[in-house]
């Protein structure tokens, strides 16, 4: 399991937090934002994920991946410079991944819904069928 730090607790950070919290491969080690009332920070607190306002405090060697979703290129460059040897994902890439995963989830929900519809149709068809043999008797 890889530990992930999310830098930026706004809307993008919240989406990434939701996605990663459902994964068995990743554990969110923390989420940070200067705004203590940011959407992602509030959600993280409700989920029991550590929160803060300084990414450096959370960026120790236990963190494998840092996802920067502040939209501030300066912050991204600071993280890259300070966290050599670790994967640092810029917000634009994280956004793309999040959108693809959201699309995947929507397709899965649609498939589940269609499967249920088809199962209902098949069940009702079986209940309404009558089989008659060649002599005209109901079997």
> Cα–Cα distance between 33 and 43 in angstroms, integer?
12
The closest alpha carbon to 52, from 64, 36, 63, 74, belongs to: 36
pLDDT by residue (tens digit) across 23-79? 889 999 999 999 999 999 999 999 999 999 999 998 888 899 999 999 888 999 999
How many whole angstroms from its chain centre is CA 66?
Answer: 15
Domain locations in the chain?
A: 2-99
pLDDT by residue (tens digit) across 107-119? 999 999 888 887 8
The answer as to CATH 3.40.367.20 being correct for domain 2-99 is no
Burial of 94 (0-12, 13-18, 19+ CB in 10 A): buried
């Amino acid at each position: 399991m890889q530990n992930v730090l999310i830098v930026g607790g706004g809307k993008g950070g919240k989406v990434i937090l939701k996605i990663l919290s459902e994964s068995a491969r990743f554990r969110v080690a923390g989420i940070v934002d200067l705004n203590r009332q940011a959407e992602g920070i509030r959600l993280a607190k409700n989920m029991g994920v550590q929160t803060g306002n300084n990414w450096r405090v959370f960026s120790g060697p236990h963190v494998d991946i840092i996802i920067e979703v502040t939209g501030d290129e300066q912050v991204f460059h600071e993280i890259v410079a300070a966290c050599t040897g670790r994967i640092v994902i810029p917000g634009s890439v994280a956004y793309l991944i999040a959108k693809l995963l959201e699309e995947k989830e929507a397709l899965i929900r649609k498939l589940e819904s269609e499967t249920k519809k088809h199962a209902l149709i098949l069940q009702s068809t079986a209940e309404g069928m009558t089989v008659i043999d060649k002599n005209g008797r109901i079997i």
